Structure 1
Amino acid sequence: MIKIIFSDMDGTLLDEQGNLPEEFPQVIEEMKSYGVLFAPASGRQYYSLLDSFSDYKDDFLFVAENGTLVKQGGKELFSSPMPRKLALKVIKDGLANTPGYGVVCGKKSAYALHEQYTEEFQAEMHKYFTHALAVDGFDDLDDDIIKVSFFDPTANADKTLYPYLKKFNGRLQVVLASAYWVDIIGFGINKGIAIQQVQKKLKITPKECAAFGDYMNDAEMMSSVYYSYAMANAHPKVKELARFEAKSNAEHGVMVQIRELLKSGLCGEKKS
């Protein structure tokens, strides 16, 4: 019986304009009536997820920053900070040797250099990091570093950023998060590992979990649940890893499939 449903945000739950489906509140109410928990699982900042789901901040479980920070009801369930010295080396090296804009992601806030904090970059950052500060440097940040991200406004991150940054693979984990973003997090940490930690904490099994995703930072999530759904618009490799396929994000595929799961009996019976 499915007890929790994880969903990526961009390219998955959100439509092509970055909006939640209109039927989202109704579907969440239906899930509640079956006792099923909803869990956004995203590369986005925890505070960005809270802003997106302000009406549900005490109801949802949040898997943020590609699994490096998991919180429920404001309480931390799991986190995996990066080794500080190595995180600082990555951001400095990446900024010096790629054309990308850089972000250091902490538990308290996200941070970007004043010199890169242009109006264009602020607008892009705000999509994913609603708590962000411009700083003169990163060395003296009073925060745990949980992720380092690089942004390419030309949407060619796979060519301009990833080929250089992948040299950190092994010591850390370098993930192509979208056509624009490359994320770097602690070695062996991802959405899938975070979901496994949640399963242990809540004492549930992979067969009691469903997940929806579309891009490579969702790959491990597909193997950590039984009911794994790649969106119709998903990266081909994600489709290979998923057991099932949902309609595209433009067709509100997550909402359509959740309603089908509720009707199928896989989520148990509706509570009175």
Structure 2
Amino acid sequence: MSISKEYVRLSDSNGLIRFSDIINGSYNLKILGWQGELIENTTVTIQKDELYHMVIAKAWVVKAKVLDVDGTSVSNASVYLLDENMTQIKAVVTDKDGFALLGGLVRGNYSVRVEYLGVMVGYQYFEVPIVGQVLEIPCRICKLEIIPVDPWNNPLIGSEVTVSFRPTPYTYQTFTGSFKSPEKPISLLLPEGSSCTIRASSGLYEGSSDMVLRRSTRLILKASIRISAVFMPGLTVFFWIFVVYSWRRRVRVFSVEVLKLKSMLSKLDELYRSGEVEASLYGKLKREYEDRLHKLLEGG
């Protein structure tokens, strides 16, 4: 009599599948991959405990290489591996050389999605095996280089450069760096279509520019002399000169008026003593001069 029974097990982290309490006999062994693909289909005969059967799955180690619009490798990009049913298998970040190890993949159809700074910049279908086992993924990532210069096109070495950009209408990021030399301009990679505001400042100079990054660009950012930096100190100096001049002029006029009134009082006294001014007129003029002098001294 033929008896059939089905046993299903999952492999552990070491790839080991253990079947316990199985009676001796011949069995059909089928091993399926994580996609459901058939890796092994054979017959094994069990006649003793601890029978080991080694399965070598035919798989190919595949790497993905993320490239910008100029064909240069991109680090820190997120690569998502999907099976043919669009189920995510794994996520990997590219290394400094732009590579992401997708791992050992059996024959089949796959796809990858690439994100950079939170924006999807690339998508590609591929089939395993692939030639060279390296999948190159061109992405919509552009390089922005910035060289700040003064009004006479001299590089502003040491100037501070700030790039504010929006990879999407809902995200906002900022990069800040110091410009060292024209041979090593400020450089950063951004998703294609990013809206950017670039500012540079150095001493008396400042400049800014707005742009939408459509392709890799080297921007010569021309700075101009800051009006506030030139005229505000001058205006401040002029203001204090005016204040000092006005004060000194006011003091000088005040002193002249006081001396003039005192001289008039003295002259009036001489005329009165010599009998040239009547007593009534003398009293009237003296009171008037003294009142004017008193008011002047109080106001000064």
**TM-score band (shorter)?**
under 0.3
Structure showing greater radius of gyration is 2
Where is the helix percentage greater, Structure 1 or Structure 2? 1
Bigger relative CO (Cα 8 Å, ≥ 6 apart): 1
